[in-house]
Chain A
Amino acid sequence: MKKYLDDFIVVSNERLNHEYVVLTLKHPDRLPHMMPGQFVEVKVENGPNTFLRRPISIHDVDKEANTMKLLIQEIGEGTRLMGALQEGDKCNLVYPLGNWFSLPDKPDVLLVGGGCGIAPLLFMGRHLKANGIKPRFLLGARTSEGLIALDEFKKLGEVYTTTEDGSAGTKGYVIHHPVMRTQDPDIDWIYTCGPDAMMRVVAKYARNHDIRCQVSLENHMACGFGACLCCVADTLDGNKCTCTDGPVFDSTYLKW
């Protein structure tokens, strides 16, 4: 898929809570085709200590409005500067980058997200629904405040939640939710994105139950398009770039 380098305009900055912001960015002309699982590399302006772009998942796309949404979790200086972008600001992107989730060959699909890892699952859920598949979502966070965009997910399918402190949904990690506790789950495919430790247990669960599982990795990157070779994942075929061979991998392809 052809890559572009463009200035987008921030059309809205919606603050969800003290940690999360959704940026809506408008393409100056016509947004090219993008797929769920792909990401963009955001240039961070005016950061005294930031140097590289920040890889951010595409959270949602509105082709008619020529806009895309990015879910930003403010965890460092770069993401805080992104979260401070205001309507009318310019935002320079290299995009769309990486591969994407594949469509399932069977109908029972569970999308498992943790923390900011829910970002690509909204776009994927919309894509699944458009292809006649009703997705179910299992979303986990540390506290109820971390469970975000639930209303958007609920429009697409059933939503299960977990929190580590029990303030919403099932107490514990996603793997503790009843939907993943049954011995004979009615799940054909799992798509997951979130913290490494979470994805590893989800992948293990999928393997134990013969469920096809695609994971979206969040490795640190410099370039995002295969030039620096910094973001490698350890696969059956050796080191592969998360940015070009991924970020989506079949869990069985990773040496987990």
Chain B
Amino acid sequence: MTASGTFGYGEEFMDFFDISCLGGVLVKGTTLNHREGNPYPRMAETPQGMLNAVGLQNKGVHYFADTIYPRIKDIKTNMLVNVSGSTVDEYVETAKVVNSLENIPGIELNISCPNVKEGGMAFGTSCPSAVAVVNAVRKVYDKHLMVKLSPNVTDIAEIAKAVEDNGADSVSLINTLLGMAVNAKTRRPVLSTITGGLSGPAVKPIAIRMVWQVAQAVKIPIVGMGGIMNATDAIEFMLAGASAVQVGTANFIDPMVTVKIVEGIEQYCDENGFESASELIGAMQV
């Protein structure tokens, strides 16, 4: 799958390859109302990664349903909508709209965005608030409910277990790690928001560790992500317990990376005697 906020609505990549070969596309974070996002600059390159502070720029769920959905609904892959909000009510209202879209088989509940002033990550960093939003959305959303977890917590497994107990069908992790960059020349922060979310290979070991910890704690499928740049990275996440993976930042560097990863996993399975990639899930021998 492709990670939300790194693959637009899929359309941006269609010049490069047929995206129907992917397991799924997580479309850009969607909120109830239009959001302008944060001011420029929103991005800083860092060693083996990048910081972003986009701040959920999107035109709101009604624009998505009316304008974007008709364009993407017939793409032959799982188009999932990443849903975010500032209040529990906003999550609920947004999820209701997406629930009515026939060809959207699921949502990814984003309780982990580090770049918004209200809501976002605040919901995903404590069990009671995570439970509150998952519970409320579960009541109005009857298709697949994936919950995207924040790594900016003391015990991610505890949050994963809490959302599983309250109706999540799967968890995806990790969202970006809260980070910061300073420009020594100008003696100013690089990002307009001072802090931002770190992604890319720099976060991979942390992400794999968290996938493994969550795999010990929950029975629902885990979608692993964080710095996956190639098939080997994806396989490592699966061996640690992920049932599927999302590829994010790598899309910016190689717009065809996802199709290469799909092929690379197949090749790995062939070469190592696995009939199906599902045999890799949690197959790490400790």
Contact = CB atoms under 8 A, between A and B. Distances in A.
Interface of A: 2-5, 43, 48-53, 94, 219-234, 238-239
A194 B54 CA distance: 25
B40 interface: yes
Given A228-B54, A239-B37, A52 B252 contact: yes
The bracket for how many chain B residues form the interface is: 20 to 34
Contacts of B41: 219-220, 230
Contacts of B254: 5, 43
Q: Which 10 A-B pairs have the closest CB atoms?
A: A230-B43, A223-B252, A3-B15, A222-B252, A227-B8, A230-B42, A226-B12, A227-B12, A229-B54, A2-B15
Query: Chain B at the A interface: mostly helix, strand, loop or mixed?
Result: loop
Contacts of B40: 219, 231-234, 239
Interface of B: 5-8, 12-13, 15-16, 28, 36-37, 39-43, 45-50, 52, 54, 57, 200-201, 249, 251-256
A228 B49 contact: no
B48 to A, nearest CB: 6
Contacts of A219: 40-41
Query: Chain A at the B interface: mostly helix, strand, loop or mixed?
Result: loop
A52 B36 contact: no
Contacts of B13: 227
Nearest to A233: B40
B15 A4 contact: yes
A51 B7 CA distance: 18
A228 B52 contact: yes
A237 B41 CA distance: 18
B27 to A, nearest CB: 11
20 contacts: A3-B16, A43-B253, A51-B45, A51-B46, A51-B200, A52-B45, A52-B252, A52-B253, A219-B40, A221-B43, A222-B43, A227-B6, A227-B7, A228-B5, A228-B6, A228-B52, A228-B54, A229-B5, A231-B42, A231-B43
